Amino acid sequence: MQENKKKQILLVGNPNVGKSTVFNTLCNKKQKTGNYAGVTVASHSGKYVYENEEVEVIDLPGSYSVYPSSEDEAIFSKYLIDEQKNYAGVVYILEALSLKRGLLLFQQIQDFGIPMILIVNQIDQAERRGVTIDIQKFSEALGIKIIQTNAKEQIGIDEVREAVYNNEFLKADKISFETPNEHKDFIQKLASHKGFDNEYKAWMSLSLGTDLGRIGSVVEQINGSEAKSLVPKRLQVQETVRRYQYVDKILEDVISKKAQFKELLTEKLDKVLVHKFWGYVVFLLILLVIFQSVFFLAEYPMNWIESFFSWLAAFTGEHLPEGPVNSLISNGIVPGIGGIVVFAPQIGILLYFLYLLEDSGYMARVVFLMDRLLRPFGLNGKSIVPLVSGTACAIPAVISTRNIENVKERLLTILVTPFMTCSARLPVYSIVIGLIISEGSFLGIKYKALVLMAMYLLGFLVALLSAAILKGFIKNQGKTYLVMDLPAYKKPLFGYDFKMVLGKVWDFITGAGKIIFIVSIIIWFLSYFGPKQKADELVAANVHLDHSYLAKMGKGIEPVIAPLGYDWKMGVGILTSFVAREVFVGTMSTLYSLEDDAPEVKVIDKMRRDVKPNGEKVFSFATGISVLLFYAFAMQCVSTLAVVYRETKSWKWTGFQVVMMTGLAYFVSMIAYQILK
Amino acid sequence: MEEKGLHKLSGFPKNKMGKILGYDNDHLKMPNKIIEMGLLPETIFRILYQAPFNGPMYVEFGAEKSRIALREEEGDYIIVEELN
């Protein structure tokens, strides 16, 4: 087979210009997972093959300028500049309806000497509004190859592939940004001193402010008043204004407008969606619909999955040879994994809604509505996105804080987001609520559903409260502000989002499945063997559970967990949950299935019947509430911690989060148990 | 800013056309994003909505009718005049 040639290209543009649509239609090969798109922040990559050439497409986070004002944009600039050797060129996407704004960043990149191809996307939309763009003139003015696309309809995509294949990336032959006269001397000196091959690179290194410390010798050559005017911020403003003037001149010749256009759909929708009163009503309704669907729509597939796994457990129980391994598989591993897979529909539905909301442009409106309400808690309007997506999983939620510009607000959001009820808590809540809350309903809503809703509300309130408390302890760095584009509404990519959701759900199942599988086996070993009982044996095998190593370990931590109302088995469950919360379910299934010789009794019934040595029920109301509260507050997720560390780059804050959350969990659970018992 | 016709963007009446004249003397403290997003001198704009309790303003501006949300604090940096 012929070896494919390889090439890397970058996909760059402002936020909300249809970049992800282009990315998706361009990349027909399986995308790398592991980056959490949807609530799109992290850069991700995909691949396609064209004429025996394999092209890796890096989708960088959207940005307005090379001067970063948030972590997101910092990633963008860093990649663009540092990785220049590795990519063949930049495919820059402009949206036909906002050429002006998009050209700012375009010119900065062009002046930096990076080869580019330009895509003008959604030209049909512009034409529908009476705007005609003279592509020929445009291409000449910018000195670049322009391809018109309508990514949604797959129009122009093959041309892009062809142009990439033929390396039609062009560098600008002259710099469009003219260094202001008052700085010209200095910039030229700096450029030759540092060996920059053009003036703009020197200018940018000054404007970024990062190089100031290292140019001492050059700065000395100029007089004091000139050095004083070289404030990075001032330079950036100067550059932006000049570039826009230049862009205006170009566009004058390129665009001809027949009539003033109006964004009719957006205008109409926003009359309601950002309304002082109705805006909030609609937002609450949307949340309500999401949670209704999560709990009621998901019920059907959940029942199918449940029956499948009970069938599988019975089947393996019957057909595997009798003995401990049989019990491990049919009562431990299968129900343990089933206990997780059963939540796949709920997680999927939740994620799907979040993707659609983000995609349609609605999330920006939620930020607009919530900003003022979140500020007293030390948060930014943009914090609402991580908080809401935290109800699916804290990991993408923590990553999505990257577009919060203010460092303090971002840190606060990262610290409190894991309080939101993530989907890994659902399996635990469902089991415990099933054990301690009676059937019956209030106003047609089941008690169990009410308690579950209360748990979600609790997570949200505690997130807000802890933010309000913590904000007093975090130093403020820099100003807080909100300057945000409100994109036009568009039809979300239903099919693409669905595909993404399936991928995420599969990741969740396989990830959790692996952990549960391993934990089940370890637990089984620890419970099958125990300290030697006769002098001549190394260890005792096939011991009664109460005499196993596991029991010994569990009983070792009993003094710590007894005030919370837990017996040693729950202790083991909680310990294993520090890997991931949902492991609790697998651990409990394994533990209880190992315990006695009545495999026909369902695990949940065994749990219900289990009593402490003093005759009290293990899962009494008091213990149940205590477990619920513990799982609501404790930081029990290694993956989230890893991401928090990556995003904060601080062991101090990561450690603080563990201690704060778990300490709070311990304290609250203890109080609840002691009061209720 | 007490001259007739001159205002800050924050506090500018809703649904009236206005033109950006420039920025406050303090503008080096102003987030760059304001300028990067295109709120430049000579730009025509209109405030369409404002979130309750003096929340962010929803501003439509420029020939391309871009929409932007910004807080009153940011609006304080921007000097505007009313158009008739």
- Give the pLDDT confidence of A156-177 residue by residue, as tens digits: 999 999 999 999 999 888 888 8
Question: What does residue A154 show for φ and ψ, rounded to 5 degrees?
Answer: 65, 15
**Closest of A210, A236, A77, A181 to residue B28, by C-alpha:** A236
Q: Determine which of A486, A489, A490 to mutate to test the interface with B (most B C-beta atoms within 10 Å).
A: A486
- Give the pLDDT confidence of A215-232 residue by residue, as tens digits: 444 555 555 556 666 778
**Closest of A581, A580, A559 to residue A627, by C-alpha:** A581
Given this model, what pLDDT does residue A221 score? 52
3-state SS, residue A43: coil
Tell me the shortest Cα–Cα distance from A389 to chain B, in angstroms: 22
User: Parallel, antiparallel, or unpaired for β A146-149 and A116-121?
Assistant: parallel
Q: How far apart are the first and last CA of chain B?
A: 19
Element (H, E) at A77: helix A71-82
pLDDT over 80 (residue A58): yes
List C-alpha distances in Å: A505 to A141, A325, A338, A357, A394.
47, 29, 14, 18, 14
For chain B, the maximum distance between any two Cα atoms, rounded to a whole number of angstroms, is 31
Tell me the shortest Cα–Cα distance from A55 to chain B, in angstroms: 32
Instruction: Judge whether A4 and A52 are in contact, CB under 8 Å.
Output: yes
| Chains A–B, number of C-beta pairs less than 8 Å apart | 117
pLDDT over 90 (residue B45): yes
pLDDT band at A276 (very low <50, low <70, confident <90, very high): very high
Does the CB of A145 have a partner CB in chain B at under 8 Å? no
Given this model, what pLDDT does residue A479 score? 80
List C-alpha distances in Å: A46 to A9, A25, A106, A500, A505.
10, 10, 23, 13, 19
Alpha-carbon distance A415 to A650, whole Å? 12
- Give the pLDDT confidence of A599-649 residue by residue, as tens digits: 556 677 778 888 877 778 888 999 999 999 999 999 988 888 888 988 888
Question: What does residue A487 show for φ and ψ, rounded to 5 degrees?
Answer: -70, 155
pLDDT band at A89 (very low <50, low <70, confident <90, very high): very high
DSSP string, A424-456: THHHHHHHHHHHHS-S-EETTEEHHHHHHHHHH
Q: How far apart are the first and last CA of chain A?
A: 71
Contact A262 B66 (CB under 8 A): no
- Residues from chain B that touch A274, judged by Cβ atoms under 8 A, are 49, 51, 58
The distance from CA A371 to its chain's CA centroid, rounded to whole angstroms, is 20
Does the CB of A74 have a partner CB in chain B at under 8 Å? no
Instruction: Give the other-Cβ count within 10 Å of A441's Cβ.
Output: 11
Nearest residue of chain B to residue A66 (CA atoms): B36
Does the CB of A100 have a partner CB in chain B at under 8 Å? yes
Alpha-carbon distance B49 to B13, whole Å? 10
Contact A244 B38 (CB under 8 A): yes
Q: What is the 3-state secondary structure (H, E, C) of A124-164?
A: HHHHHCCEEECHHHHHHHHCCCEEEEEHHHCECHHHHHHHH
3-state SS, residue A522: helix
Alpha-carbon distance A96 to A120, whole Å? 6
Given this model, what pLDDT does residue A499 score? 83
Contact A104 B62 (CB under 8 A): no
Does the CB of A364 have a partner CB in chain B at under 8 Å? yes
Alpha-carbon distance A108 to A127, whole Å? 27
Nearest residue of chain A to residue B42 (CA atoms): A245
Tell me the shortest Cα–Cα distance from B4 to chain A, in angstroms: 27
Given this model, what pLDDT does residue A399 score? 82
Task: Give the percent of chain A with pLDDT over 90.
Answer: 32
**Closest of B78, B42, B9 to residue A241, by C-alpha:** B42
Tell me the shortest Cα–Cα distance from A234 to chain B, in angstroms: 7
- Residues from chain B that touch A367, judged by Cβ atoms under 8 A, are 69
Q: Which residues pair with A119 in a beta bridge?
A: A93, A147
Instruction: Give the other-Cβ count within 10 Å of A277's Cβ.
Output: 9
Tokens of A396: 């993408």
Q: Which residues pair with A444 in a beta bridge?
A: none
Report angle CA A640, A642, A645 to the nearest 5 degrees: 110
Range with the poorest average pLDDT among A356-360, A476-480, A625-629, A670-674: A476-480
Alpha-carbon distance A497 to A362, whole Å? 15
- Give the pLDDT confidence of A481-528 residue by residue, as tens digits: 899 999 888 888 788 788 878 888 887 788 778 887 888 788 878 877
Does the CB of A372 have a partner CB in chain B at under 8 Å? yes
Given this model, what pLDDT does residue B51 score? 96
Contact A100 B37 (CB under 8 A): no
Contact A270 B48 (CB under 8 A): yes
- Give the pLDDT confidence of A319-330 residue by residue, as tens digits: 888 777 777 787
Alpha-carbon distance A227 to A518, whole Å? 63
Tokens of A214: 């290292």
Mean pLDDT of chain B: 88
- Residues from chain B that touch A64, judged by Cβ atoms under 8 A, are 33, 36-37
pLDDT band at A380 (very low <50, low <70, confident <90, very high): very high
Tell me the shortest Cα–Cα distance from B39 to chain A, in angstroms: 10
Which of A64, A275, A371 is facing B36, going by the closest CB pair?
A: A64
Does the CB of A101 have a partner CB in chain B at under 8 Å? yes
3-state SS, residue A393: coil
Which of B29, B52, B71 is facing A482, going by the closest CB pair?
A: B71
Does the CB of A646 have a partner CB in chain B at under 8 Å? no
Given this model, what pLDDT does residue A39 score? 35
Give residues with Cβ within 8 angstroms of B24, minimum separation 6: B8, B30, B76, B77, B78, B79
Tell me the shortest Cα–Cα distance from B2 to chain A, in angstroms: 26
pLDDT over 90 (residue A262): no
- Residues from chain B that touch A16, judged by Cβ atoms under 8 A, are none
Given this model, what pLDDT does residue A626 score? 96
Q: Determine which of A482, A485, A489 to mutate to test the interface with B (most B C-beta atoms within 10 Å).
A: A482
Nearest residue of chain B to residue A267 (CA atoms): B48
Q: What is the CA radius of gyration of chain A?
A: 29
* pTM score, whole prediction: 0.85
- Residues from chain B that touch A231, judged by Cβ atoms under 8 A, are 28
| Highest mean predicted confidence (pLDDT) among A179-188, A237-246, A485-494 | A237-246
**Closest of A402, A639, A415, A392 to residue A512, by C-alpha:** A639
Range with the poorest average pLDDT among A64-73, A208-217, A392-401: A208-217
Given this model, what pLDDT does residue A458 score? 96
Given this model, what pLDDT does residue A224 score? 52
Given this model, what pLDDT does residue A25 score? 85
Mean pLDDT of chain A: 84
Hey, CA dihedral for A485, A490, A493, A498, is it positive or negative? positive
pLDDT over 90 (residue A657): yes
pLDDT over 60 (residue A34): no
Average pLDDT over residues A522-541: 78
**Closest of A72, A74, A77 to residue A90, by C-alpha:** A77
Tokens of A303: 């029942």
Prediction ipTM score = 0.94
Alpha-carbon distance A332 to A350, whole Å? 28
Tokens of A29: 């090969």
Given this model, what pLDDT does residue A215 score? 46
**Closest of A46, A18, A55 to residue A160, by C-alpha:** A55
Contact A270 B56 (CB under 8 A): no
pLDDT over 90 (residue A410): yes
Does the CB of A240 have a partner CB in chain B at under 8 Å? yes
User: What's the burial of A556, exposed, middle or buried (CB within 10 Å: 0-12/13-18/19+)?
Assistant: exposed
For A25-34, the CB contacts below 8 A with 24+ separation are A25/A151, A25/A152, A25/A154, A25/A157, A26/A57, A26/A157, A26/A160, A26/A161, A27/A57, A33/A503, A33/A504, A33/A507
Contact B55 A371 (CB under 8 A): yes
User: What's the burial of A413, exposed, middle or buried (CB within 10 Å: 0-12/13-18/19+)?
Assistant: buried
Give chain B's contact residues with A (Cβ, < 8 Å).
27-29, 31-38, 40-41, 48-49, 51-56, 58, 62-71, 73-74
- Give the pLDDT confidence of A114-173 residue by residue, as tens digits: 999 999 998 887 887 788 899 999 999 999 999 999 877 788 999 999 999 999 999 888
- Give the pLDDT confidence of A297-314 residue by residue, as tens digits: 888 898 899 889 889 988
Which of 275-314 (A) contact B at CB < 8 A? 275-276, 279
Alpha-carbon distance A71 to A68, whole Å? 7
- Give the pLDDT confidence of A447-478 residue by residue, as tens digits: 888 898 899 999 999 999 999 999 998 887 77
Instruction: Judge whether A94 and A145 are in contact, CB under 8 Å.
Output: no
- Residues from chain B that touch A483, judged by Cβ atoms under 8 A, are 31, 33-34, 37, 68-70, 74
- Residues from chain A that touch B62, judged by Cβ atoms under 8 A, are 100
pLDDT band at B16 (very low <50, low <70, confident <90, very high): very high
pLDDT: is A295 or A240 the higher one? A240
Given this model, what pLDDT does residue A31 score? 53
Contact A100 B38 (CB under 8 A): yes
Given this model, what pLDDT does residue A633 score? 96
Which of B37, B41, B48 is facing A483, going by the closest CB pair?
A: B37
Which of A99, A240, A368 is facing B58, going by the closest CB pair?
A: A368
Q: Determine which of A104, A122, A368 to mutate to test the interface with B (most B C-beta atoms within 10 Å).
A: A368
pLDDT: is A538 or A179 the higher one? A179
Alpha-carbon distance A441 to A199, whole Å? 73
User: Parallel, antiparallel, or unpaired for β A529-530 and A131-133?
Assistant: unpaired
Range with the poorest average pLDDT among A13-27, A118-132, A384-398, B1-15: B1-15
Alpha-carbon distance A486 to A501, whole Å? 25
